[in-house]
Amino acid sequence: MEVTARAPGKIILAGEHAVVHGCTAVASSIDLYTSVSLRLRPEDEDTIKLQLNDIGLDFSWAIGRIKEVLSRLGSPFSSTPTSCSPETVKSLTALVDEQSFPESKIGLASGVYAFLWLYTSILGFRPATVVVSSELPVGAGLGSSAAYCVALSAALLALSDSAKLDVSQKGWFTFKSEAELVNKWAFEGEKIIHGRPSGVDNSVSTFGNVIKFKSGVMTRIDSNMPLRMLITNTKVGRDTKALVANVLARKSRHPDAMCSVLNAIEAISAEWSTIIQSHAVDDLCLSANEEKLGELMEMNQGLLFSIGVSHASIETILRTTMKYKLASKLTGAGGGGCVLTLLPTHVSGAVIDKLVEELESFGFQCFMAGIGGKGVQISFDHSS
């Protein structure tokens, strides 16, 4: 039996940075996916293999060796999501170091630790081959690590005793009662990769659609508005912690002005939520709502610029999309990363092609994405 799980990436539509200061952020799934295929092997094969297709890394561990390293700490196998202790992370590090991890890709090692922890916790020591492929760029603020953890957790749970799934189902289908369990395990994986994640990325990837997030409380909202975005990756790496710290320093220097800016961003997040939940009765109404969202994006970007989180590469994209009368804003931490451009329904394919060509001439990478689709899905391959 082989199972494949796919989990979507995410974007922040409104409220990034302000969310750190107690305001609302609005996040959405995008129809760009990370897929994890898991095929169990005969017991006598005695290896667990991991293939990371997009970055060209393959790993293979003898199950005896994994048992030897992890059994000193007690069996990791657990029916309920549990956190990975610092001692266990050290043991996982030893297992990964034995694989002669390439120095240039060492930043991805924590993703392999997360794999080993989730695998042994959910499936124990059963031999298998796991293949990961993704449409999401790594480290660009599109939730690639969360999509990886969600898809991995879903595939593992699908073949475990914890989830009671109908394996005879054909095509892609979503989890029902098991989705919360997937989300909790994925969050444990995210903690290994990021230390103290908010939980927003894995929640959006698990449940899909749109989520409002404020002071640690998440509310799922249903978007009734079909939206398309052009996502442009600047390919400029950014230091999220430094950007957050700089905003905090600016707030301490200019408390009254920054309070007004954050209140304005809060109002933008609230209006975003209202508009995307409303039902457009006709094309005219839809067009008016798209225009409002475009204005909100422009205002939000101006406010993000004012708190110091834009970047020369972001401003280049804004200038370019403005020539086509399209609204854009950064998404996530800023300082590089990705920029969203709203593509209203009236914009022709020819115009979009021309814009993409111009943006790519600067060395940027462009993706088209639908907003607010389904969360994690699984599919069983009955031919194997």
For residue 74, what pLDDT is reported? 62
Residue 293 has pLDDT above 90, yes or no: yes
Provide the 3-class DSSP secondary structure of residue 178. Answer: coil
Provide the 3-class DSSP secondary structure of residue 297. Answer: helix
For residue 44, what pLDDT is reported? 81
- What is the rounded average pLDDT of the residues 153-181? 85
CA 92 to mean position of chain CA atoms: 24
Instruction: Read off the pLDDT band of 281 (50, 70, 90).
Output: confident
**pLDDT tens digits for range 309-346:** 999 999 999 999 999 999 999 999 899 999 999 999 99
For residue 327, what pLDDT is reported? 98
201 belongs to the catalytic site: yes
Q: How do beta strands 47-52 and 128-134 pair?
A: parallel
Contacts of 161 (CB under 8 A, 6+ apart): 79
Closest to 209 (Cα-Cα) out of 369, 7, 368, 27: 27
Instruction: Read off the pLDDT band of 134 (50, 70, 90).
Output: very high
Sheet holding 328-331, edge to edge: 328-331, 338-342, 228-233, 365-370
Cβ atoms 379, 264 nearer than 8 A: no
Q: Is the pTM of this model over 0.85?
A: yes
* Identity at 197, one-letter amino acid code: P
Instruction: Read off the pLDDT band of 384 (50, 70, 90).
Output: low
Average pLDDT score over the chain? 91
Marked catalytic residue, from 201, 239, 282, 283: 201
